[in-house]
Amino acid sequence: MGNFQTEKQLVRDFYAALDGADSTVLPETMQRYCSADLKWHGFHPFDEIQGPEAVADQFWTPLRQSLTRLQRRMDIFMAGTNMLGADDGVWVSSTGHLMGLFDQSWLGIQPTGKMAFLRYSAFHKVENGKITETAMYFDIPHLMMQAGLQPFPPQTAAHLVQPGPATHDGLLFDAQPAGEGEKTLAAINAMISDLGQWDSGLTLEQELAQTWCDDMIWWGPAGIGATYTIERYAKQHSGPFRASFTDRSKTKHICRMAEGHYGGFFGWPNFTAVPSGGFMGMPATQKAGEFRVIDIYRRAGDKLAENWIFIDLLHFWKQQGVDILARMAEVPRT
């Protein structure tokens, strides 16, 4: 593992330029830091966008017009070499919120005139001094809920604006000891191995205890929610999720990396599964659906302590025949 300082500085400079740019120069700002053939992955309804100017026009400009005085509030910033390919370069990741005044409608969601937080996580691949690929995932249903909408039936876990790490040490602007990143990656890989079985012969709590701290926090997406401790995580998310699905595919990630006590991954999609037992208060469809996911982790000791999760639930449910975004755009704010 290297120290990734050059790549980190590029992304920090990119964020500073992007966040400080007037909307009229967003395309030029994107072009300055991103390659001409930038591949950008975003949640529904944005999906895949090609080229920096298109990303500026389709995502950043409308968002900045809606969430005025936008500021980036980062909680985690890290970089690492993608363990999934020796030639796949260095990726830089950040997680936090984009906060602004919700002054104009966005994606049909009616404004409140109040502060609003768009929870996000991003991975940027850096090659030859340019960002060549980005996965930027964001919790649109959480923004809907801040605007007084209820995109999903009531769920088992808690919905709230989510804080950063309990240790307040997630901004890894400086180089980190390589050995710490290796330990984090090992913990993440062990957890993925356990998760992929769905039948370890252990109770769910016993299985989770192999790789998770007992006081773990799972910061899940709106529509599922956040949950605290192994016992409540098993009861409020992991158990119900496993009971809801069959035919889960193998896990496929585009990038998996770690630095210091932090690490994460994303896929496009990460896996597919069939909702055969009902999910999120909705009936079973028996139709395979894709799960586009970013997971970010904090390690404590040799186990995982916190997990920030982004799941494209709008995309998943649209595949099941339910257009949550269109449905919410028609509902007046309460």
Measured between alpha carbons, how far is 189 from 164 in angstroms, rounded to an integer?
23
Measured between alpha carbons, how far is 129 from 186 in angstroms, rounded to an integer?
29
Task: Name the strand (E) or helix (H) holding 185.
Answer: helix 178-197
- The CATH class that applies to domain 178-329 reads alpha beta
Q: Collapsing DSSP states into helix, strand and coil, what is residue 157? A: coil
Measured between alpha carbons, how far is 25 from 270 in angstroms, rounded to an integer?
34
Question: Tell me: the pLDDT tens digits for 42-86?
Answer: 999 999 999 999 999 999 999 999 999 999 999 999 999 999 975
pLDDT the model gives residue 211: 97
pLDDT the model gives residue 87: 65
pLDDT the model gives residue 328: 85
With a cut of 80, say whether residue 155 has pLDDT above it.
no
128: Cβ–Cβ under 8 A, 6 or more apart, which residues? none
Task: Name the strand (E) or helix (H) holding 100.
Answer: strand 90-102
Pairing of strands 271-275, 289-291: antiparallel
> CA 157 → CA 116, 224, 238, 249, distances in Å?
21, 6, 11, 25
Question: Tell me: the pLDDT tens digits for 228-262?
Answer: 999 999 999 999 988 899 888 888 999 999 999 99
pLDDT band at 199 (very low <50, low <70, confident <90, very high): low
Measured between alpha carbons, how far is 215 from 192 in angstroms, rounded to an integer?
19
Q: Is 31 exposed, middle or buried (0-12, 13-18, 19+ CB in 10 A)?
A: middle
Structure tokens at 167: 């240790």
Give the type of residue at 126: V
pLDDT the model gives residue 156: 72
CB 10 within 8 A of CB 129: yes
With a cut of 70, say whether residue 196 has pLDDT above it.
no
**Residues β-bridged to residue 224:** none
How much is the pTM? Answer: 0.95
pLDDT band at 330 (very low <50, low <70, confident <90, very high): low
Average pLDDT over residues 274-279: 87
Structure tokens at 203: 């109770």
The size of the chain, in residues, is 334
Structure tokens at 184: 């984090």
Domain 178-329 in the same topology as domain 5-146: yes
pLDDT the model gives residue 246: 87
**Domain map (residue ranges) of the chain:** 5-146, 178-329
Between 72 and 194, the more confident residue is 72
Write the DSSP symbol of residue 140. Answer: H
Give the type of residue at 256: R
- The CATH class that applies to domain 5-146 reads alpha beta
Q: Collapsing DSSP states into helix, strand and coil, what is residue 208? A: helix
Between 279 and 2, the more confident residue is 279
